[in-house]
Chain A
């Protein structure tokens, strides 16, 4: 048994059956991090003390023969935008370089309550703004499948950690594709739940109407287990939905036969790489052979999603990031003489280029004279995008698309062209805007052996169906490596 090659169930059972211990699992992952992460850069902070304490608690339960909770002893990584009490939480920003939160994010608490052992905090683009992880203020993450390529972003550290066996699973966050796109680039599973399915309490806010927490994992089943753990109403987040959480693993084995799967031509147009197109079309054929009925659907406003997203997300960000004032917990510039100089210089020195660009765009879009033309206009187009999905989901149970138009690009390839970088999210931002769930699963590799992702979108609060389709596909997919 290789301790760093286990799925969630295999790891928990091995601890339960005393074939190994939670402590040994944690130590094996730390040893691998020590050996491999110097070149990958997936972690920003390790929290060994907290991890070993939790591992010990789980091992004592196992020794007493008590049944372990669903994630008992399972080593995980947490994206560094989720607050962890007593453990540095930076959001990938210099402005929070020394921040030690006094409380835990709800999703983190739920992971630990379910027995997970938190190894550390994973690297990300600054304030989750980016598609390549090159916007981390600390260091970039390299794609474990090809170290010259980006892992995607903004949850690049979480995706790379799972892909390189530096964690069994990880939590990420998705505002425009930040779970699904890195999952696609690194060849792992990434699930963005419905907006409101998972509490955002303790998540460092980027764009509050678009931010989601969700799992990155090695298998669809593992993603389902993590989702069930973190989902459900939380009084600390008034947007967390008051709906029951189904047992997502129970329905996984059900056949996908008879399910209607939509294919939208708008997701197969200009800009889609041929190898990605071919892999996704083959995956759709495979779904047919599993008994799914493939139905053409139309999502006519898709091309307006990126401009809509960059207005709404930046407007919300400009407001959310106003809190970094250098007074209470964020970076303060040295040698300042007045309050206004302190605000300006602290923010100037604390934020990176992309964060400033987005604050500027968002502030501009909200400023007097431009509010109606930009922000309000974008909110109206957001309604049209949501209606596109409402119409399509009257005909189908799920919609399949490529996750990203290309496989992982090279470090530096897009870092000087913000617009080109934004277009990497062209197939993922729509789901964030509409609030629907989406999952990315591996569906092939390019000639250069880079992973390709298949995205499956579902109805609001119907994660069960996309998990079922993804699981059915995963069982028959033969993905070269």
Chain B
């Protein structure tokens, strides 16, 4: 077993999830089963292989250019409301579970 209940507690903490006792037990089982399967990647020697983080810098761009030069077409002037108008305060707050019309309201931040 790679993942223990202690690991699950630690990772849930990182992910801001609470998880019930029952969920934790299931999570230990499921993560171990998936990670066992994922283990097969270690059959491959990738020591000389570059990682691929995205598709866009590899295909559909001018490969003779380097780095961000490949995306020169996406550059634009840095201006206020450049591509679209910013949301109004009213519209930005419209979906908030709790707000006072000016701010999002949240429970007390400083705990003791």
Q: Name A residues whose Cβ lies closer than 8 Å to a Cβ of B.
A: 98-100, 102-103, 194-196, 209, 233, 235-236, 238-239, 241-243, 301, 303-304, 306-308, 310-311, 318, 322, 325-332, 336-345, 347-348, 351, 353, 356-357, 359-361, 363-364, 367, 374, 376-384, 386, 418-419, 422, 434-435, 460-461
Q: Provided the pairs A99-B95, A386-B58, A460-B60 are in contact, do residues A341 and B107 lie with their beta carbons within 8 angstroms?
A: yes
- For the complex, give the distance between the alpha carbons of A356 and B16 in Å: 10
Q: A196-B56, A310-B34 are in contact. List 9 more A-B contacts (CB 8 A).
A: A98-B95, A100-B95, A243-B60, A327-B96, A337-B108, A347-B18, A360-B31, A363-B15, A461-B59
| CB <8 Å contact, B55 and A381 | no
Which of A360, A367, A380 has the most chain B CB atoms inside 10 A of its CB? A360
Interface membership of B98, Cβ < 8 A? yes
Q: How many A-B residue pairs have CB under 8 A?
A: 182
Selected from B8, B34, B39, B53, the residue in CB contact (under 8 A) with A209 is B53
Q: Which residue of A lies closest to B24 (CB)?
A: A360
| CB <8 Å contact, B33 and A418 | yes
- For the complex, give the distance between the alpha carbons of A325 and B55 in Å: 29
Q: Which residue of A lies closest to B112 (CB)?
A: A338
| CB <8 Å contact, A102 and B94 | yes
Closest Cβ of chain A: how far from B77's Cβ, in Å? 12
- For the complex, give the distance between the alpha carbons of A345 and B17 in Å: 7
Selected from A195, A311, A330, A356, the residue in CB contact (under 8 A) with B56 is A195
Interface membership of B1, Cβ < 8 A? no
Contacts of A359 in B (CB 8 A): 15, 17
Within 8 A of A (CB), among B50-89: 50-56, 58-61, 71, 73-74, 76, 83-84, 87
Q: Name B residues whose Cβ lies closer than 8 Å to a Cβ of A.
A: 3, 7-8, 10-12, 14-20, 23, 26-27, 30-31, 33-35, 37-42, 44, 46, 49-56, 58-61, 71, 73-74, 76, 83-84, 87, 91-92, 94-98, 104, 106-109, 111
| CB <8 Å contact, A419 and B50 | no
Contacts of A379 in B (CB 8 A): 51-53
- For the complex, give the distance between the alpha carbons of A480 and B32 in Å: 43
Q: Provided the pairs A361-B31, A377-B46 are in contact, do residues A343 and B16 lie with their beta carbons within 8 angstroms?
A: yes
- For the complex, give the distance between the alpha carbons of A166 and B14 in Å: 43
Main secondary structure of the interface of A (DSSP, over half): helix
Q: Provided the pairs A380-B49, A383-B50 are in contact, do residues A238 and B74 lie with their beta carbons within 8 angstroms?
A: yes
Q: Which residue of B lies closest to A422 (CB)?
A: B34
| CB <8 Å contact, A307 and B16 | no
| CB <8 Å contact, B23 and A356 | yes
- For the complex, give the distance between the alpha carbons of A342 and B104 in Å: 14
Q: Which residue of B lies closest to A327 (CB)?
A: B104
Contacts of B74 in A (CB 8 A): 235, 238, 242
Selected from A241, A342, A364, A434, the residue in CB contact (under 8 A) with B60 is A241
Selected from B19, B31, B44, B87, the residue in CB contact (under 8 A) with A364 is B31
Closest Cβ of chain B: how far from A211's Cβ, in Å? 11
Contacts of B83 in A (CB 8 A): 235-236
Q: Provided the pairs A303-B40, A367-B11, A380-B50 are in contact, do residues A435 and B17 lie with their beta carbons within 8 angstroms?
A: no
- For the complex, give the distance between the alpha carbons of A299 and B16 in Å: 39
- For the complex, give the distance between the alpha carbons of A328 and B103 in Å: 10
Q: Which residue of A lies closest to B85 (CB)?
A: A103
- For the complex, give the distance between the alpha carbons of A361 and B49 in Å: 24
Selected from B19, B92, B106, the residue in CB contact (under 8 A) with A102 is B92
| CB <8 Å contact, A236 and B56 | no
Selected from B44, B60, B84, B109, the residue in CB contact (under 8 A) with A339 is B109
Q: Would you list 13 pairs from A and B whose C-beta atoms are within 8 A, ordered by A residue?
A: A239-B55, A307-B40, A322-B16, A329-B95, A345-B18, A361-B34, A364-B3, A374-B38, A377-B41, A381-B41, A383-B52, A418-B30, A419-B37
| CB <8 Å contact, B107 and A338 | yes
| CB <8 Å contact, A419 and B15 | no
Closest Cβ of chain B: how far from A348's Cβ, in Å? 4
Contacts of B30 in A (CB 8 A): 357, 418
- For the complex, give the distance between the alpha carbons of A422 and B74 in Å: 36
| CB <8 Å contact, A340 and B38 | no
- For the complex, give the distance between the alpha carbons of A461 and B44 in Å: 29
Contacts of A336 in B (CB 8 A): 107
Q: Which residue of B lies closest to A237 (CB)?
A: B74
| CB <8 Å contact, A307 and B96 | no
Closest Cβ of chain B: how far from A369's Cβ, in Å? 11
- For the complex, give the distance between the alpha carbons of A367 and B15 in Å: 10
Q: Provided the pairs A357-B30, A360-B8 are in contact, do residues A304 and B104 lie with their beta carbons within 8 angstroms?
A: no
